[in-house]
């Protein structure tokens, strides 16, 4: 089962990286882009909290998932597990790579709605993990939510994106579905991010294709 979970995670991460490379190449540059406030704040706060959990171990105990604590009214344990890394440096490095790589392009695409796309999937992933893996924490459920928003962005613009990227996006979502069956909280987090991104696109874009991505079709084929 651990091998299957690792394989599903690997497929989802790899396919998202492929889609993300296209988005960075063809949709990163724009005139007068707004500052990446959310990305900077989330990354900085996550790094700062990780440093503090070593200097003050009680922070880790107060912020990580704790079923009994949640039942007694410690509601913050739905959010704070996103900022601590109970498994140490390796978990921190992996999660920081995810945040540094995926958050900026997602914020460039979705603007201030990145707050929603980060924290709602993150909390959903933590809720699921309270049932599947009661003790722990980490930023990955939120990071996977951001990944889901990128995969959905590619799918929503499939008419103006080379077909292979739509295939990779579908494959990444299938990997997330497989993770749900394997009781891996990354799967629900990613699917929640994809679902929210679809709702955001439907309400703000009204189904209209993105002109910037349309203009890149020929460039992508070159």
Residue 215: per-residue pLDDT: 43
Q: What confidence score (pLDDT) does residue 36 get? A: 95
> Which has the closest alpha carbon to 203: 119, 143, 113, 142?
113
Question: In the CATH scheme, what is the code of domain 2-221?
Answer: 1.20.1540.10
Q: Give the global pTM.
A: 0.88
Q: pLDDT, tens digit, for every residue of 119-131?
A: 999 999 999 999 9
> For residue 31, what pLDDT is reported?
63
Q: What is the pLDDT of residue 222?
A: 43
- What's the burial of 18, exposed, middle or buried (CB within 10 Å: 0-12/13-18/19+)? middle
- With beta carbons less than 8 A apart as the criterion, state whether 162 and 220 touch: yes
Tell me the per-residue pLDDT of 166-217, one tens digit each, with 9 for 90 and over: 999 999 999 999 999 999 999 999 999 999 999 998 766 544 444 444 444 4
Q: What is the pLDDT of residue 218?
A: 44
d(CA 146, CA 118): 6
At a CB cut-off of 8 Å and minimum separation 6, what does 5 contact?
Answer: 179, 182, 184
DSSP codes joined into one string, 143-210: HHHHHHHHHHHHHHTGGGS-HHHHHHHHHHHHHHHHHHHTT-THHHHHHHHHHHHHHHHHHHTTTPPP
Per-residue DSSP letters for 52-106?
A: HHHH-HHHHHHHSB-HHHHHTT-GGGGTGGGT--TT-HHHHHHHHHHHHHHHHHH
pLDDT: which is higher, 203 or 93: 93
pLDDT of residue 2: 85
What are the sequence ranges of the domains in the chain?
2-221
The tokens for 104 are 């900026």
Question: What is the 8-class DSSP label of residue 33?
Answer: P
| 43 in Cβ contact with 96 (< 8 Å) | yes
């Amino acid at each position: 089962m651990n091998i299957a979970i690792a394989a599903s995670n690997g497929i989802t991460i790899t396919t998202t990286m492929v889609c993300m490379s296209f988005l960075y190449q063809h949709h990163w540059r724009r005139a007068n882009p707004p500052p990446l406030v959310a990305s900077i704040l989330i990354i900085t706060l996550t790094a700062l909290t990780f440093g503090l959990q070593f200097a003050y171990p009680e922070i880790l105990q107060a912020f990580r998932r704790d079923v009994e604590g949640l039942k007694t009214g410690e509601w913050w344990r739905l959010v704070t597990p996103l900022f601590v890394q109970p498994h140490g440096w390796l978990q921190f490095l992996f999660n920081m790579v995810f945040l540094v790589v995926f958050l900026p392009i997602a914020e460039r695409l979705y603007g201030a709605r990145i707050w929603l796309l980060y924290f709602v999937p993150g909390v959903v992933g933590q809720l699921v993990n309270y049932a599947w893996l009661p003790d722990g924490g980490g930023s990955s459920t939120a990071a996977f939510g951001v990944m889901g928003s990128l995969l959905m962005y590619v799918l929503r613009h499939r008419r103006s994106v080379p077909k292979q990227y739509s295939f990779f996006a579908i494959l990444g979502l299938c990997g997330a579905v497989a993770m749900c069956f394997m009781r891996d909280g990354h799967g629900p987090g990613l699917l929640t991010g994809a679902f929210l991104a679809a709702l955001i696109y439907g309400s703000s874009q009204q189904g209209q294709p993105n002109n910037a991505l349309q203009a890149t079709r020929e460039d992508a084929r070159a």
